A and B are shown apart, each in its own frame.
Chain A
Amino acid sequence: MAELIIEQEVLAVMEQDAINAFPNECCGFFFGKEEGESRLVLEVLPVENTKEGDQRRRFKIEPESYMRAERHALSRGLDLLGIYHSHPLHPAIPSEHDRSQAMPWFSYIILSVEENAIVDLTSWQLNNSREFEKETIKQL
């Protein structure tokens, strides 16, 4: 099972983004280094959820934001490791919509959030059958 190691400051940014966006979903990118089965998450970049309609149940990131994230990774000498988003008032389990939209290789962090509190945090990666497998998360 792949392992995600997240710096405390990075995690704090994701958690605050999820709380600030509540009851809507937040989203963003994270960056770091991959070494074998481990991924060290060193930086985070919150981005705007541009989903039209109900942002309490859906998120969308614009292609321009994606291109900026790739350029950011390049300029920092880091890998663009994945995407985080929140599930307000829902478990930190990927939906079928999450799975159908997911890219291979990326880690997908999901934060389950209630008003003013993070309830759970998980991370997932697609396998070769396009099914999500859970990653372990360690905090630095």
Chain B
Amino acid sequence: MARIIIPTPLRKFTSNQANFEAEGKTVSEAILALTTSYGNLKQHLVDDEGKLRSFVRVYLGDEDINVLQKEATPIEKDSIISIIPAIAGGIA
């Protein structure tokens, strides 16, 4: 199973688990497995249409899935998927 690494601010929604073993053939399926197991996490990761929120980035290994096949990127049993908050802000 692929391993999803949960960032610190979202671990309160995963019972403090930093890792999640996910079934699935794509990044999208793995994320769905995660949000199915931890329902309260869903609103922070995906919108009402199931698309990843703009401030959430997902990496497969060291590569941003946006330069691969986005959510449809295939994963392997030993894949490591990192969820990374896009950190930004400012006065305006």
Contact = CB atoms under 8 A, between A and B. Distances in A.
Contact of B89 (A59, A66, A73, A88): A59
A96 to B, nearest CB: 8
Interface of A: 25, 27, 51, 56-61, 63, 66-67, 70, 73, 79-80, 83, 85, 87-88, 90, 94-95, 97-98, 100-106, 108
B12 interface: yes
B9 A105 contact: yes
Interface stretch (B25-33, B70-78, B79-87): B79-87
Contacts, number: 86
A85 B87 CA distance: 11
Given A63-B64, A67-B82, A70-B7, A103 B90 contact: no
Given A101-B55, A103-B44, A51 B88 contact: yes
26 contacts: A56-B91, A58-B88, A58-B90, A58-B91, A60-B87, A63-B84, A66-B7, A66-B84, A67-B59, A73-B8, A83-B87, A85-B90, A90-B91, A95-B90, A97-B88, A97-B90, A97-B92, A98-B89, A101-B86, A101-B88, A102-B89, A103-B44, A103-B55, A104-B9, A104-B12, A106-B8
